[in-house]
Amino acid sequence: FHLQAIKGASFIEFLLDKIHASTTARDLIFSPFQSDFFDENDKSILNSLFAAKTLFDNNSLIAITCRGHSAKSANLLSNLIVEAYEIALLQETAEKPLPGILRLEHEKIKELHVQIIGIKEQLAEEKMVDSRLNVEAIALRSEIQVLEQESQNYKRILTAIDKIFRDDLPKISYLEIDGFDEAGTLKDISETISSLENMLKQSDLGPTVRTEVEKNLKVNQALFENEIALAIERIKEKSINGLGKKKILSRRIVDLHKDEGNFGTSKYKYDSLKNLETELEERSLSYQRQYQEWKRSTYSILSVEMKQN
């Protein structure tokens, strides 16, 4: 595990970041090996500058051999490797393990999740109807219908917003979209702007008062534009969240069909779903055992040989 981790892509990237954090370390380690004639990146150079192996058939004893343009650079690299590895171990998570074999296994688990969700969404689109569905399924269908109506409403609003933007219509046009100004904030600001504009039309307005009115008008106009931008973002966010919730609820209905054996004409897909879920469960349990074993494992840097290139 530790041998894989030290020479793994994750740790190499982590170590590279640590080296790049110091201009002195970067120049001392890499500069002698970089060339204007060859397009070699720092990652490939770093990989070639140190080797790691286990000794005496004991995976906890690791020998690291570093080389450099000078003994100083090789010694610096060896110290950085040991220090960076200790930090990397502390910062590592089950979602981003250091050993390559564990990372590949975790990637496979994520792929299975994606495949399962994909099949569930396909099945959800088939809109199976079954009078035997329980109260939970009926409630879920009702909630999905509400979300679909909300989705259509948000789509209508976003289409109207897009038209105003493309046609370069006045900002006040946004107030004409039903459901755009939910809190009525924009309407209040718009009325304030109208009042201030009317005041400026008065010929008997004193210079001091006129200056103050103009100042307030600019503030409210900027506030109006800012509130429009915020309203658009809120509508987009609600639309995205609604679609996400609808997918989750739809997948839950698929689970209910599966649990009750209500496959209809989609038995093949449900069989595939069941197989994938079984594989996911088995891989997840296996991964948890492997990861716990990895976290319990110990290591020692038995020797660090420094070679001048």
SS (H, E, C) 163-180: HHHHCCCCHHHHHHCCCC
Band (37; pLDDT cuts 50, 70, 90): very low
Q: How many helices (H) and strands (E) does the chain have?
A: 10, 3
First-residue to last-residue Cα distance in the chain: 29
Give the tokens for residue 241. Answer: 């969240």
Are β-strands 58-68 and 50-55 bridged in parallel, bridged antiparallel, or unpaired? antiparallel
Residue 133 has pLDDT above 90, yes or no: no
Section 258-274 average pLDDT: 75
Do residues 219 and 113 touch, judged by C-beta distance below 8 A?
Answer: no
Which residues are registered as beta bridge partners of 304? 64
d(Cα 161, Cα 138) in Å, to the nearest integer?
35
Q: What's the pLDDT at 223?
A: 94
Q: What is the pLDDT of residues 137-165, one digit of tens each?
A: 778 878 888 888 899 999 999 999 999 98
Q: Reply yes or no on whether the pLDDT at 131 is more than 60.
A: no
Mean pLDDT of 210-226: 92
Which among 87, 12, 91, 20 has a CA at the least distance from the CA of 52?
12
Question: Quick one: average pLDDT of 256-265?
Answer: 68
CB contact at 8 A, 139 and 44: no
Mean pLDDT along residues 183-188 = 85
Cα dist from 178 to 99, 169, 175, whole Å: 55, 17, 8
pLDDT of residue 217: 92
**Strand 50-55's sheet: what is its strand order?**
50-55, 58-68, 300-308
Distance from C-alpha of 122 to C-alpha of 272, rounded to nearest angstrom = 12
Highest mean pLDDT among 23-32, 155-164, 267-276: 155-164
- Chain position carrying tokens 């349990």: 285
- Predicted confidence band at 279 (pLDDT cuts at 50, 70, 90)? very high
Q: Which residue has the higher pLDDT, 69 or 241?
A: 241
- Specify whether the CB–CB gap between 69 and 309 falls below 8 A: yes
pLDDT above 70: residue 99: yes
Asked if pLDDT for residue 306 goes beyond 50, the answer is yes
Does residue 309 register a pLDDT over 80? no
> Would you say the C-alpha torsion 138, 255, 124, 264 has a positive or negative sign?
negative
